[in-house]
Amino acid sequence: MKGYRITFIRHGFTQGNVDGKYIGTTDLPLAKEGAEQLYDIAEKADYPSFQKIYISPLKRCLQTAYILAPNCYMVEMPQLREMDFGEFEGKTPDEYAHDCPGHFVKQQFLPDELKDREDYKKFLEGGLDNPPPGGESVREVVGRCYDALSVIIGDMMEEGLTNCAVITHSGIIMNILACFGLPKRRAIEYACGFGEGFEVMVSASMWQR
Q: How far apart are CA 15 and CA 84, in angstroms?
A: 18
Q: What is the DSSP letter of 9?
A: E
* pLDDT the model gives residue 102: 40
Taken as a whole, the chain contains a residue count of: 209
Q: In what order do the strands lie in the sheet with 52-55?
A: 74-76, 52-55, 163-168, 3-10, 197-203
3-state helix, strand, coil split of the chain in percent (to 5) is 40, 15, 45
Instruction: Note the pLDDT tens digit of each residue in 92-148.
Output: 876 444 444 443 333 444 344 788 889 998 998 999 999 999 999 999 999 999 999
Mean pLDDT of 182-193: 93
Query: Angle at Cα 195 formed by Cα 193 and Cα 196, nearest 5°?
Result: 55
Instruction: Note the pLDDT tens digit of each residue in 36-88.
Output: 999 999 888 878 889 999 999 999 999 999 999 999 999 999 999 999 999 99
